[in-house]
Chains A and B, each alone.
Chain A
Amino acid sequence: MTVEITEEPKGVHGMGHKIRRKEDIRFLLGKGNYVDDIKLPGMVYLAFVRSPYAHAKIKSINVEKAKTLPGVIDIITGKELEKVGLAWIPTLMGDKMMVLPTDKVVYQGQEVVAVIAEDRYKAYDAASLIEVEYEPLEPVTDPKKALEQSSPIVRPDKNTNLVFKWEAGNKEETDKLFKEADVVVSQGFYYQRLHVAYMEPVGSIAHYDPVSGKLTIWMTSQAPHVVRTVFSLVTKIPENKIRIISPDIGGGFGGKVYVYPGYVVSAHASIKLGRPVKWIATRSEDMRSTAFARDYHIHGEIAAKKDGTILALRIKVISDHGAFFGDANPSKFSAGLFSICTGSYDIKAAHVEVVGAHTNKPPGGIAYRCSFRVTEAAYAIERLVDILAHELGMDPAELRLKNFIPPEKFPYKSALGWTYDSGNYAAALKKAMDKIGYWELRKEQEEKRKRGELMGIGISSFTEIVGAGPADLFDIVGIKMFESAEIRIHPTGKVIARFGTRAQGQGHETTYAQIISEILGIPVEDIIIEEGDTDTCPYGLGTYASRSTPTAGAAAAVSAKKILDKAKKIAAHLLEAREEDIVYEKGRFYVKGSPDKFKTIQDVALAAYTNPPPGIEAGLEAITYYNPPNMTFPFGSYICVVDIDKGTGQIKVRKFVAVDDCGNIINPVIVDGQIMGALTMSFGTAFLEEIRYDENGNIYGGSFAEYMIPTAIETPKWELDKTITPSPHHPLGAKGVDESATVGSPAAFVNAVVDALWHLGVRHIDMPLWPWKIWQILKEKGAVSDE
């Protein structure tokens, strides 16, 4: 099925309708309920003393002055946590992380001592009075150096900085094709370290009730259920006595999957003190200590025939994970789903190798708005293909069209083992080319080049892999990556549906309601969606990696269909007919041939409680733990046009067309919002944002004053369009969309800039493409203009 997009709701607001978001009213009125908005009686505040060094031994900690400060309640060190087995906790990747250090610090900004005080000002006052004596050790901040024999070792519990070595593909076959190739293109890329920079900094409030023994934690978490299980296993508190509530979350983008020391220390402190303990990171603390993204040193090679036919792909990566391996990848995938790097192309053989290294930096490698390293993979292949086109003197669009996996080859088994569900890559690229006027732009570029003007056109035809995932392959700490949806229809036909996911801006309260409305014919306004409370919601793995629609959306559809099955039985009873004679159409049941005499879903709901048929249980509800049969593979083609100022190196994104295909669409305006937001983030990636460290491990870019997030001024205008290729295995034919643009667009930006400069002998420039970098290159090439 392909869903039709409609402007106005037709009474029942199902799939494809542009309905307003149900969650917006509270946010618009300032009545959102984020962690820092919650105030409990007797609540106290937690602040951290943080390490100024990237690598240092802790010689002593003197808390005497701080202790005597009025308003200070408690001071907690790593030694104290060690006694209760909480100085170290497991990460979601099977590594360990320090909560508070006992002997040495391993990155700048690391939490060292916690102070609890009556208010947040006093907590920071006391923190400033704590004297920590350090003996600085030699740090290592370059992952390549970290893997050398002579490197300092980051971790006190390991004798190597090697985190993992992971490979995929057929090496022999790949090597053979490389030998046979007419052309081999190779290029190094550094995908810089980024911070997701959600607007709401991380935080928690832990509230331990000594009478019931229940620990409630309000937490900025994208995955409250898994965090609860880990907390229970680590603390030995029974899982039903831990309640994690993720209230409204001010953006997550992958950064709020990680378990932060503040969560753990606030919980420990609340249990110890019997009072609610609030911890909220300041922005600068958040930027300096919470999980980072990317930091991939990629070396890619692509082998092709003279006519542009791509034969094989070889990629080697060194990934920087900082001090702890803190990704939230599915367990079997140390390098996430980087093996999607063959992208949209029919490539015979490929081999990928990723080596992870520890460095003296905060833990990194989270899936920043991408399904586990898919962003890095798409960037590598889309840059390589572009360089290949330029080397061969072929048009980058034509080279892509020549090598796309053709629509008739789906389901398509990639060289690295994935089975792509559906795709029509040429259709998306051609649509983007038509929309932007590609060939006219090429003509314009040629003319401009003659006049010495710098204009570039960049394409990226990406393929994603989202919706983790099938239970045989995907788990996090052993828990299979299913997703849940529970729908309850009450006697008057009103619905509460609860999910294991947790939105952070994606609009689940609207889209899930639309899914239920589509199937059950109940108006969206009669459906309340709840998420993020481990006491009330069914267990789920959470929201990240574009998995909510592919997994929880599917679970909702399956639950709704289960309800429909029972509803038909009840309707048959009410209409005094046989079940097989009952016809169902959008919220109405009738006997075949007499559509005028019908019972509504609301009538059925009432009967489910007041007049259930004999032999049928009362009530009308269903729960599903959905195990997806495969991943979904959204795709798209983006085209970017840039003009470069030869005097300043300033780049202007003149035009950007994004054609996305995420299968069937639930709410088209929400989908477009996701795409525009992700495009803007990636514009930041390509042109503005980077977290850097000097050789001593000092951070650059560790606050909002230094980390350049796009504002309304810089952000270009995005022009969006769609093709629709439904997923054959998803109950609604949907695929997931949140991350397509972060995956797809960085290469489009860089390809455009390099395209503008290729004739000057420029082959690659690492992001961010700051004007001074461009200006320096222009200067080197003798192309700076003084005009």
Chain B
Amino acid sequence: MLVRPGEKVKVKVKVNGIWYEKEVEPRKLLVHFIREDIGLTGTKIGCDTSTCGACTIIMNGKSVKSCTLFAFQANGAEITTIEGIGDSKLHPIQEAFKDNFALQCGYCTPGMIMQTYFLLKTNPNPTEEEIKDGLHGNICRCTGYQNIIKAVKDAAGRMR
């Protein structure tokens, strides 16, 4: 795609079931688009090196770090964010996180839950090692992961 300096591009995305169409700078990161243009601030920004996973969302069925994509790369895509997984009540993953004390400051939590959502979609009955492997792109600085791993196991049970 070729754009002239200063030119904006049209991006049409379906986020949590609603289509949004906006003109954005081609360099705008998807995470900024979601947070600032659509106003869904549940998705967080924790780093600038695609390391921490706080910005994890589901795009076309796969988990992606939304700080690593431009908004225009999501054109035509279907996206689910933390705001979109529960249906006006807590999703079983969110329930499991609550019941297992799998969060403290809450900043990594949306990304952690979205990654869990993807993990359990692809592997409904993961082993402890598979959970660790599945979450290793998401950093939590508070919990020490033990309760997160417990929560993921618990969520898997609740979703079966």
Task: Enumerate chain A interface residues (CB-CB to B < 8 A).
Answer: 20-21, 23-32, 34, 36-37, 39, 120-121, 197-201, 248-251, 253, 282-284, 504-507, 669-670, 672-673, 676-681, 703-705, 709-713, 715, 717-718
Minimum Cβ distance to chain A for residue B157 (Å)? 18
- Is residue B66 within 8 Å, beta carbon to beta carbon, of the partner chain? no
Contact (Cβ within 8 A) A199 B107? yes
Query: A-side binding surface: helix, strand, loop or mixed?
Result: loop
Contact of A505 among B40, B83, B142, B147 (CB under 8 A): B142
The interface bits of chain B over 10-28 (1 if a CB of A lies within 8 angstroms of the residue's CB, else 0) are: 0000000000000001011
Query: B-side binding surface: helix, strand, loop or mixed?
Result: loop
How far is B142's CA from A676's CA once the two chains are assembled, in angstroms?
8
Minimum Cβ distance to chain B for residue A506 (Å)? 7
- Is residue B131 within 8 Å, beta carbon to beta carbon, of the partner chain? yes
Contact (Cβ within 8 A) B149 A30? no
Contact of B49 among A197, A704, A718 (CB under 8 A): A704
Residue of A nearest to B132 (CB): A712
Report the tally of A-B residue pairs with Cβ distances under 8 A: 173
Known A30-B43, A676-B146, A711-B136; judge A507-B104 contact (CB<8 A): yes
Contact (Cβ within 8 A) B42 A29? yes
Residue of B nearest to A670 (CB): B101
Which residue, of B99, B105, B136, B139, has the highest number of chain A Cβ atoms within 10 A? B105
- Is residue B52 within 8 Å, beta carbon to beta carbon, of the partner chain? yes
How far is B25's CA from A287's CA once the two chains are assembled, in angstroms?
28
How far is B50's CA from A704's CA once the two chains are assembled, in angstroms?
8
Contact of A704 among B107, B139, B143, B147 (CB under 8 A): B139
User: What chain A residues lie within 8 Å of B135 (beta carbons)?
Assistant: 711-712
The interface bits of chain B over 47-59 (1 if a CB of A lies within 8 angstroms of the residue's CB, else 0) are: 1110110100000
Question: What are some 14 contacts across the A-B interface (CB < 8 A)?
Answer: A24-B97, A25-B98, A27-B103, A28-B94, A29-B42, A198-B105, A199-B108, A199-B142, A201-B46, A248-B106, A284-B48, A506-B104, A677-B104, A713-B133
Residue of B nearest to A709 (CB): B139
- Is residue B63 within 8 Å, beta carbon to beta carbon, of the partner chain? no
- Is residue B140 within 8 Å, beta carbon to beta carbon, of the partner chain? yes
Known A199-B54, A507-B104, A673-B101; judge A121-B28 contact (CB<8 A): yes
Contact (Cβ within 8 A) B49 A677? no
Residue of A nearest to B97 (CB): A28
Contact (Cβ within 8 A) B145 A704? no
Contact (Cβ within 8 A) A199 B52? yes
How far is B46's CA from A474's CA once the two chains are assembled, in angstroms?
35
Contact (Cβ within 8 A) A34 B44? yes
How far is B104's CA from A681's CA once the two chains are assembled, in angstroms?
14
User: What chain B residues lie within 8 Å of A249 (beta carbons)?
Assistant: 105
Contact (Cβ within 8 A) A23 B106? yes
Interface residues in B, total, Cβ within 8 A:
57
Known A39-B36, A676-B143, A712-B149; judge A704-B106 contact (CB<8 A): no
How far is B40's CA from A30's CA once the two chains are assembled, in angstroms?
8
Contact (Cβ within 8 A) A29 B94? yes
Which residue, of A25, A36, A715, has the highest number of chain B Cβ atoms within 10 A? A715
- Is residue B90 within 8 Å, beta carbon to beta carbon, of the partner chain? yes
- Is residue B113 within 8 Å, beta carbon to beta carbon, of the partner chain? yes
- Is residue B79 within 8 Å, beta carbon to beta carbon, of the partner chain? no
User: What chain A residues lie within 8 Å of B48 (beta carbons)?
Assistant: 282-284, 703-704
How far is B25's CA from A39's CA once the two chains are assembled, in angstroms?
20
Contact (Cβ within 8 A) A200 B49? no
User: What chain A residues lie within 8 Å of B107 (beta carbons)?
Assistant: 32, 34, 198-200, 250-251
Minimum Cβ distance to chain B for residue A459 (Å)? 21
Known pairs A712-B131, A718-B144 / 13 extra A-B pairs, C-beta < 8 Å: A24-B106, A25-B90, A27-B103, A36-B45, A283-B48, A506-B104, A677-B142, A681-B144, A703-B51, A711-B137, A712-B138, A712-B149, A715-B146
Contact (Cβ within 8 A) B90 A29? yes
Contact (Cβ within 8 A) A283 B132? no
- Is residue B86 within 8 Å, beta carbon to beta carbon, of the partner chain? yes
How far is B30's CA from A757's CA once the two chains are assembled, in angstroms?
50
